[in-house]
Amino acid sequence: MLYWFLKNVVIGPIVRAVFRPWVRGAQNVPETGPVILASNHLSFVDSVFLPIQLRRRVVFLAKSEYFTGTGLKGWASRLFFAGTGQLPIDRSGGKASEASLNTGLRVLAEGDVLGIYPEGTRSPDGRMYRGRTGVARMILEGRVPVIPVAMIDTEKVMPLGTKLPKVHRVGVIIGEPLDFSRFEGLEGDRFILRSITDEIMYELRRLSGQEYTDIYASSAKEPAAASAGAVSAARQKALARRGR
């Protein structure tokens, strides 16, 4: 009920009026049955623009930090993410990754639409990065179709590091379903999982027109974070010298 209210009464009408999002290929999403929507990830608002363009409810797996805040801000965050169909997951790896996989499989077993970002995190610079193979495992273990989705220009609405959105028209391109049923029973083969994931990323690159780089987005963010930390430390030292 909260999902329907936010989508159709609160968030949806405002987003449509302000950003005028367009969609192509919405008919490729089946009206019933489990399916995975595998999307590129340019901005925090991807999980807002994609669901409002579809009739069916889309469930995303979101990092658990969004659900653990305290005070009024934490309450508002939990309400927003839960209301927009997102489930908390632990992305620390190991057993947490297995739990995330099981959460996604449970969504599919209930016949719902599961939204996944194979890159694992937002692109730091607008390029497309190497996909992680968790999406391939879900496809094979859940025995469900996967549909590639390209978000267009959402990074111009909410670039990394900004808190307020900018008005810019965005788009959603929904490709045709990809069939990997020929690999059923091979979800334990890491070479098969990599092959499936790479095929999905190739299709996402074709739909989005993004430049591709064959490293993980999380690895690309590490040098930027280190550089930002160095700049911050330098500024603190400069302020300390001025205060002497």
Mean pLDDT of the chain: 84
C-alpha–C-alpha distance, residues 128 and 107, integer Å: 26
C-alpha–C-alpha distance, residues 79 and 5, integer Å: 12
C-alpha–C-alpha distance, residues 37 and 56, integer Å: 12
Residue 70: per-residue pLDDT: 75
- Helix, strand, coil shares of the chain, percent, nearest 5, are 50, 15, 35
Query: Tens digits of per-residue pLDDT, 109-156?
Result: 999 999 999 998 899 999 999 999 999 999 999 999 999 999 999 999
Question: Higher-confidence residue: 171 or 101?
Answer: 171
Largest CA distance in the chain: 70
Residue 123: per-residue pLDDT: 95
Q: Which DSSP category does 8 fall into?
A: I
Residue 173 has pLDDT above 70, yes or no: yes
Question: Confidence band (pLDDT; 50, 70, 90) for 234?
Answer: very low
C-alpha–C-alpha distance, residues 150 and 40, integer Å: 6
Question: Confidence band (pLDDT; 50, 70, 90) for 164?
Answer: confident
Q: For residue 135, give both structure tokens.
A: 């999406």
Question: Higher-confidence residue: 139 or 1?
Answer: 139
Percent of the chain with pLDDT over 70: 77
First to last CA, the chain: 59
Q: Which DSSP category does 178 fall into?
A: B
Give the side-chain half-sphere CA count within 13 A for 202: 7
Residue 77 has pLDDT above 90, yes or no: no
The structure's pTM equals 0.82
Strand partners, 172: 23, 151
Residue 230 has pLDDT above 70, yes or no: no
